[in-house]
Structure 1
Amino acid sequence: MEAQVCLLFISIFFLKNDNPPLTELAELNPYRQTMPEAYLEALQQKELKFKNKKNDSFEVKKFITFFIDNNFQRELIVLIAQPKKEELSNDFKIEVYPSEKKRLPQNRKGYQFNLVNNAKIYNHAGVEYGAFKFVVPLIDMDSLSVTQVHRNKKLKPWQTTLANPFPKLTITKNKTTVSGQRKIPNIYRPFMNSLLRKAEITFIDHDYKIINDSLFEIKKTKEKFIKDASATIVTVKNTSRFWRAINNHEDNLIDLCIYQGPSVNKAKSLFQQYIENNIDFNAVFDVDKLAHFVSILNLFTDECSNEKLLFIFNEETNRLEPFFHYDACVGKTSKYVDRMPTQDPEFIQNAGSRLKAYANLDLKLELQEDESLINHIKLINSYYPDNIFNLDFLKVNQLKIKKNLEQSIAIKAELISMSDDRMTLSIENYSYYPVEIVGLNHERKKEIISLNPRRQILNGDRDTITIDLPRSFENLFVSKKKKVTGFLVHKHMSELFITYRTFGSDEFQYQSIIPFQEKEMITKDIFRTKEAINDHKEIVVNEINKTISFKKDSVTIASALIIPQNYKFLLRPGAQVNLVKGGKIISYAQIEFRGTKQNPIKIYSEDKKGEGLIVLSAKTKSTLNFVTFDGLTNPKHGAWNVTGAVSFYESPVQLSNVTITNNHCEDALNIIRTNFTMNQCTISDTQSDAFDGDFVNGEIINCTFRNLGNDAIDVSGSDITIKNVMVYNAGDKGLSAGEDSKMTIRNTKIFDSEIAVAGKDLSVVHIRNISIKNTKLAFTAFQKKPEFGPSSITVIDLELEDVETKYLIENTSRLMVEGKKIETSQNVKDRMYGVEFGVSSSETRNGSQQ
């Protein structure tokens, strides 16, 4: 049955004439989703604009309400046109006035619900809409009212009442003679039973009985079912212990179950033979039905202690099959997908396939094709209006199953050692399923080598794999600058990917290789030597205050200084730290370098061989005030290295009046997977990028970037605000947003640079008040990586002077300047990176190491 769209009432609040234009309210993001077809069908029945008689102009209607009736579910949709930020989190009060009054609570005229979800944003006809959805009870109703709930009580709320919103329902009530346990019905149970029945999984069915005008679910007890069906049931006492015993063939397996029915000895015999390794897993259990069962549970339930595991013995196949009886957790949103109970390869393969099938099942179609199932939902809802069937709950569980099956990072691959002809890796499986290691690829595209045989790693396990490299391996890596081939770990490891697939999936996935082992202790690995801190006589450790500092204000460090976690590393005003001969600071703890304007802290390298600072996984925010980093390179040791002279990895930081200058490595400052703020900072005379942020959230305010080999600010997967920033002489891009970043720019100047602003790979850049002078290219937006998409830049208040090329926008991307869309071009990427605009990263990065 096709969904019916009922446009029953359109309620209008008008946008005032003095409201700012659309770009002021919410700059239209061209990559918002278009509205669902059902919404569009409703909207097509009404004009979305009205004529304002005062100024004879057309304006957008502010509020629109309509219903979507899927027969098994009714949705109330409230749309807000051109929503302000605070309107996207509006709450609404829904009041339903039923036709049947006798089941209402005493002194109540209707049922009240609260809509507290945030709006979902859609684009339609050049207008941005915030859409609120609420599933209303599937009952006969006289009217329904919707009231906007303002947090500011001084504002007048929008309100509308819809009279006779739906046609009368037809509900079939069958008489039952069944006796047994009674309970309040679960509205999701009929749908779950339908899928269990299709999978031929046994369960105790139920019927309904009306007692004192209340509806109850009636079903047989387990004991009555065993007697009537002559069934043999195995009830597991402790599920986790049971599966552990199965996986380990433990002798106590038989004692972990309760046995009832005529074939108890046959069921026990199966377990005994399995313990003695005389039969396999698939001879004990019906693997396919167990895979169905696990998948259906993940779709309908959340893991909880109330659920019990039961099996029924099949006399024909002489195997145990899942038996569903307890349903305390049916209808709960799953927080995560349950781990597979066993690592049996046949079961895992079946479970993966079944999970994928249920995750992609058209639930709406399944419901619409079963009139009796819809009648069950209507019947339950008519007696329990609060017990609403919401298909979105199941869709959320489907999405979680999909994400679990298609984990973006299912394995972690770490380099142990590397030689000319072989590579040894440590690979850990993070997923819920076994993974199959297929081979090694170059940049996900070119296969370097395929493993024969392929290696299987069970979930939670780690394995060491050695890959023999072909003779052609070195030829894949070319230095454009020196025009020679050869693999450099610090430079080229990011181009290598392990190819693997998860059991149950036919899709190959790719995982980059970490050029060091994060946790394993490696011989002579100074990055993990716990005693490293004791090798420095200049260090003072205060165990009472848990602080580490230097005895003197002027120290020289010629080896690695490792600061352990759970301490605080302090530098006093005026401290001078000279890093020489590969000296470096690696801190797993919060750092506080608090200089003053009169007595700044200086960390420098007299011999230009000092390897800088990295803070790793510090839980507490670090603070740096009036600190200068001068003449440093990136920390490295063997195959281990980072790209920044100063780096913060998963370690929040606040930088104020910090200067980084004369670095000779890929990044002056690199911040990864954390929050940060930068205020009154200066980065100058860099070999390559000044600031590189990966998956960060932060602000860069009142900062200056000068004389840069590559980019001033380069971010990926980040949300960043840039205010009052000056960029002078950037060798490549002044501001660069990539890989689905959000960049907000205010009051910024970019002078004497190659490219001013670049948006790449699904990034959205909003700019207000920017001055660009003496620059080769002002704005570019394009798709760089195939796994992403186009980019969008919006600019208001632009000043251009002595700009050779104003705009270079790829045809799928977008640039809006002062509300006007700029013309686009083709093959923009092919003109970048030193071909026509900008510079090649390989020309500046790691230049001192090639």
Structure 2
Amino acid sequence: MNKRVKKYSFIVLCIIIVLALPFLYIIVKNIQNDLPLREYVKESLLRRVKTDIHRLFTFTGKDKLKLPELFLEIDEKAFAELDSLRSSKLELLNHQGIAHNEQSQWDYVNATLVVNDTLHAIKIRIRGDMPSNYNRGLENSSYRFNVESKTSVFGKKKLSMVRPFLENNFYGYLFSHFFEKEGFISNDILFIRLYLNGKENGIYFLQEGFSKELVESSEYREGVIVRFKNDCEDNNGTYNSTGVPELDVYSEGKTLKDSSLSKNYNRALFKFEALKSGKLGPEQCFNTKKFANYFALCDFFLAHHSYVCHNVKMYFNPINDKFEPIAWDPSNFVRYKIKLHVQPGYTNYSGEIYYKKESYPIHNYLYRDTNFLKEFNRYIYLYSHNDSIRNFLQEHYELIEAIDPELYRDRFQEKFNSSLILDNIKSIKNWFTTDNRLIAKIYRNEKILVVKSVNPLPILLTALKLDPEITVTINKLLLPYSSDTIPIDSGDPDTWGRKFSLSSVIYGMDSTKMKYKGVVFEKKDNINSVLISEIPDTTILSFDKRNKVVSFRKKNTAVQKSLYIPPGYRFIILPGSSIMLTNHANIICESGIQALGTPENPIQFQSDGTGGILIKNSELNSELNYVNFYNLSAPKDGNWEITGAVTFYDCSVHIKNCSFSNNKSEDAINIVKGNFSIDSCNFSNILSDAIDIDYGKGTLANSVISNTGNDGVDISSARVTISNLQLKNIGDKGLSGGEKAIVNASNVSIDKSLIGIASKDRAIVNIKKLNVKNATYPLAAYQKKPEYGPAIITCSNFSCDNKKYLIEQNSILVLNKDTVRGAVPAVFKAIYATK
């Protein structure tokens, strides 16, 4: 019997081989005759199979990488509720034949989460509109949760848990971390190991949600995060009756209840509507430099999915009064390179899709702005010619190698391949050197030049040479892949030669000169013309375009409407100048300011109590010396309002021998995200805080602060060195450090305040030689915000007339080398309940 089975088995096998031979022959011949296919099989398929076999059989449970562990507990009733909802969604998709559900249709349930032995009460729901987020059972679903208790998970209150393959494994991780490294607001992503109801559930991404913690951890002031409404789905080429998508805000309920956030949101809506109606240009609505950097990096990371309409997330900066990009959802890098199906347009570079407003509305505006185009080209050149991306990838290879085998066992995902990004960088670098930048023709009888760009970068046409003796200056901007018709004003066309050369540069980069050589024809083509220009207002200001200087036409100037100084200039105020701001007029400057008065001829900035000054986004340092600021208020325009009467945002400033008095704002001076020095300055009769430093780095020396309604010096998330500081009659805290600030101070005296020195929310305040008198609480260290932690004060050579220190549990005071560990509960409430 066994011999018969073997015999028949052999016969069947032979028949199968014989039947398969023609198919194998056809496959082999096709591979032999198709070079790309042959190379793919040799270089990719066989190598992939070999690598996958190695990855599959070399990983054991003992090789698991040590990752943060999260223990999620969902009770039986809530678990059943989530599963029922998930099943009904899948049935709806199958019944209606649609591709996805709306995320807003998912309901939250109660659950608990344990992280580092801390129990958190949370509300959790399924996350995602695409079925891939929930069609593999609850054990593999994506989740979004909010921390309801007065705690936080890794400093965050809103988070998601997603299987890494849904965020492109390492591609999504690297995208998020590199953009964060480059200074963008980017959702933090961590690899974590999840335990669901006591059972290990594998590796997840823990991804930060859209909340104030996201904004503040990126060193920005709290402001609204907006997105486009669902009407930006492309329905027959239109969004809605306006043709332009409408904005929506995250956490709408909280935003509308908070007066400051509500104003910020209304301001965002107002500015976007003004942009759509043509009342504002892109430069006034968007941080064009930041968007240029963002779009350039998306080109390098093949992350074009990130700025498709329904994925656009923007932060409206309450100080800068402009929209800024948030790095989010790069989509799948691998699909681009192996030509798998992706949505139309997702594989294109920025320069190939900017005109498609139905899918890319932000591009449609930004590509009209010349400053954006210059900065975009500059960033493309910068990242293609330096090693910052390559070095970043190398820094993460160790993590990739350690975690890849386990990810592969989980989903059999392709191994991370850095060449997808590195080869793309090489390809982009060629944009600057390719000979095929333009196609151009000249038609003699019509005296026109017809030109078309075939390059993804904006190009500036500079000169047209018609003959060895005839050269015409053009100075014409050509957008990527666009065409234009340019009249030629150069005498009798019969004197032109039969050939011409057209010189061009990549816009904003004179070192990229190139010549196109063509033939002069006789016939005319019909191609539309495009020309964009902006002219600054010069009624009060004088612009020296050659030396890039702007100044007031008169030393004594009354400003009755807000002034705007564009980027690229130096704003010079002459000694002895007196500037009076009235009728809510403000000075908004995106250039460096140089106001250098003298003891005999100081510079005066005054206001009727309604106007202020904002210096922002300048690459040039600002200098103030012998300048008096009197009766200023915070700049305000409709729903836009900032806190500082004088504000420096994202720029460097040196301030010496200046006075700030009688201000009518929350801060006399606010420095945000900049390097600074303040020396020999006087602050008096201040409505609220005198000096407010956010995310900056600098020094404060030899200065006096008196009669403030709130804090003398308020430092948040910054590094500041202080010396020789006197504070008198301070309404709240003399010197306050918060939100991971590091303050090193010496020779500080405080006379009359509620709190002398305050350190809160993981701040460290170090002081040598401190004298405090007439303070209710000379020293206080505590935690105010749940996403941070306890604080530290170290103090030596300290004297005071009152030893009522408030050191909260887990906070520390080191006083003359003696450590005092906190024992007081809820210090913040204890202080301000009695104020």
Q: TM-score range by the shorter chain?
A: 0.3 to 0.5
Larger helix proportion of the pair: 2
**TM-score computed with the length of structure 1 as normaliser:** 0.43
